[in-house]
Amino acid sequence: MSVRVRRIYESPEPADGVRVLVDRLWPRGLSKEVAHVDEWPKGLTPSDELRRWFHAGGSYEEFVHRYEAELAAPEAAELLDGLRKSVHEGPVTLLTASKTPAESHATVLARLLTD
């Protein structure tokens, strides 16, 4: 099981496997052809309210707690289970436009996919 997190602005690599965009909004200045995104499950992204709260200065620890609660909702849980199946079939790369992927929702997703 291989899950990694990368910025979407980095060039695709053969080791990426299935490339999954985990941001609610399409990244600025990037065409779909260049991005090489295989899946874009918007239901796994943080809600607009949570995203705004976090970017307004919310703590990362509280963000993780609130985001995990959102992922427990039926629609998100179903999408998460589907993505787990992809992980068992081969490498999955979670793509985000975040400038700090290590402190983003993508890292939370990666952890949940490998637990």
Per-residue pLDDT tens over the stretch 35-91 = 999 999 999 999 999 999 999 999 999 999 999 999 999 999 999 999 999 888 999
Per-residue pLDDT tens over the stretch 97-106 = 999 999 999 9
> Based on the structure, what is the number of domains in the chain?
1
> Please, which pLDDT band fits residue 1 given cuts at 50, 70 and 90?
low
- Which structural domain range is residue 49 located in? 3-114
Residue of 107, 49, 43, 50 lying closest to 77 (CA atoms): 43
Indicate if the pLDDT at residue 109 is higher than 70: yes
Give the integer Cα–Cα distance in Å for 14 and 55: 33
Query: Is residue 15 within 8 Å of 91, Cβ to Cβ?
Result: yes
